[in-house]
Amino acid sequence: MKLPGSSKFTYHQIEKLISHGLNLVHFTWQVEAIYRRRYCQEAAREFRYRAPIILALYGFLTLGIYKISLDYDVSITWLYYYAWVGIIIFIAWVMSFVRRFDRFFDVYVGIGSMLAVALSFLMVTVIGSVHSNALFHVAMMYAVVIIYGFVGLRFYTAFIAGWSGGLLAMVVSLLLNYQIDWVLFNRTYTFSSFFGMALAYAIDRQHRENYLQNCIIQLNQKKLSQQAQLLESLSRQDALTDLANRRYLEEVLTKEWFSALRYQHPLTIMMIDIDYFKHYNDSFGHVAGDSCLKAIAHVLKQMTSRGNELAARYGGEEFMLIFPMTNREQAEKIANNLIQRVNELAIPHPSSLVCNTISISVGVISTIPQRHHQLSDLIMQADQALYQAKKYGRNQYALMIL
């Protein structure tokens, strides 16, 4: 049985479970609840394939005892009563196909196993004869070993099913005044029960070891996945501003360009430069300059929070914004809003030749790409628009149409 692991646990929890050992074949209650749910789902799935094999084995055993038995009446009675064991297995098999019953696998298979053991036990005391008694004992041993080792129950569930089935049959036999050969029962039922318990214990312990190993594998996979996502994010992100970097900008811009060209929808890009930023660095130092860049970047990120919009650091104190599905009128409103919000930051800049606070110049280019256009032309025009904004006094935008 291949039990999928869980990433809900920490390495510390798993190491603690391993260090405490699995000799008790039971986890802490929290872990056991998760393990039981996964175990029952997998056990029910496997039981769909095991049940026909179990039915075939019981059928082979029944036919063999029927042919070997010297008493015809006993043989017929054996077939009649032992058919109920097959019916119990068949009912449990049908239930295993109903997914909502998966979580109750221990319950319905445990009860079915208990009844199968009880019936096997009762057939020895109720219909056993001098000639065929040993054969019935063999059948009972057969049933007990199958329940412990092949049905798919966890150790404690199999233990309860095996012994409670025997106890139930003993009580019924004594109430009905049937004789029990205690010596033979100890050599068959008791021996097979202990043998089956050892088998179930080893299987359950191995399943739990595999489960914990799979949990570790899942945690490692989750960690590797997170690290891969982090590396991918870092490869696309500017370390200082947390905006997209130049490489990712080019990737997105190319994609949006071809999308706009194909579907003939407008595309707007904005080239942004902080006015007299070199003077600001000279006056306040690079640490203050970095803080200023972060503040501007925060505004830019807020301005590009929809759909496929993107804010990127183009280089130094220059930034670029991408606005798919944005026409000229919308672009002008965005540019005005952007300049206003930067001014509202009110970052002191006494050495600026424009105003006493940090300001920006914005070059805007809005177009519906045509086949004779080139993406490089779009970037060049945005740069030209930025130059125009600076030329006419800064702290403003200039718009060009490709």
Q: In angstroms, rounded to a whole number, what is the distance separating the alpha carbons of residues 192 and 171?
A: 20
CA 279 from centroid of its chain's CA atoms: 53
pLDDT beyond 90 at 210:
no
Q: Are 401 and 382 in contact (CB under 8 A)?
A: no
pLDDT beyond 70 at 66:
no
pLDDT beyond 60 at 399:
yes
Nearby residues of 125 by Cβ (< 8 Å), 6 or more positions away: 169, 173, 178, 179, 180
The DSSP symbol for 102 reads G
Q: What is the pLDDT of residue 261?
A: 92
Q: What is the pLDDT of residue 287?
A: 93
Residue type, 392: Y
The DSSP symbol for 357 reads B
CATH topology of domain 246-401: Alpha-Beta Plaits (3.30.70)
Question: What are the C-alpha distances in Å from 189 to residues 75, 90, 112, 162, 387?
Answer: 21, 24, 18, 10, 96
Q: List beta partners, residue 357.
A: 348
Q: Are 385 and 399 in contact (CB under 8 A)?
A: yes
The DSSP symbol for 131 reads T
Q: What is the pLDDT of residue 131?
A: 47
Least confident of 59-73, 173-187, 251-265, 336-350: 59-73
User: What is the domain partition of the chain in residue ranges?
Assistant: 11-223, 246-401
Q: What is the pLDDT of residue 129?
A: 46
pLDDT beyond 60 at 71:
no
Question: Alpha helices of 304-352 — where are they, by DSSP H?
Answer: 328-345
Q: Are 221 and 230 in contact (CB under 8 A)?
A: no
pLDDT beyond 60 at 72:
no
Q: In angstroms, rounded to a whole number, what is the distance separating the alpha carbons of residues 63 and 169?
A: 24
Q: How confident is the model at residue 311 (pLDDT cuts 50, 70, 90)?
A: very high
Residue, of 389 and 150, whose pLDDT is higher: 389
Least confident of 78-87, 132-141, 290-299: 132-141
Q: What is the pLDDT of residue 30?
A: 79
pLDDT beyond 80 at 174:
yes
CA 105 from centroid of its chain's CA atoms: 23
- Whose CA is closest to 185, among 194, 176, 197? 194
Q: Are 272 and 323 in contact (CB under 8 A)?
A: no
Q: List beta partners, residue 316.
A: none
Q: How confident is the model at residue 31 (pLDDT cuts 50, 70, 90)?
A: confident
Q: Which token pair is 40?
A: 């029952």
Q: What is the pLDDT of residue 258?
A: 93
Q: Which token pair is 315?
A: 């280089």
Q: What is the pLDDT of residue 182?
A: 82
Q: What is the pLDDT of residue 130?
A: 44
Mean per-residue pLDDT for 237-252?
91
Q: What is the pLDDT of residue 187?
A: 81
Q: If you search the block for the tokens 């998760």, which residue do you land on? A: 34
Mean per-residue pLDDT for 362-370?
93
pLDDT digits (tens, 9 = 90+) for 73-130: 556 666 777 788 888 889 999 999 998 899 899 999 999 999 988 888 887 777 654 4
Mean per-residue pLDDT for 228-234?
77
Mean per-residue pLDDT for 180-209?
85
Nearby residues of 269 by Cβ (< 8 Å), 6 or more positions away: 253, 320, 321, 322, 323, 364, 365, 378, 379, 382
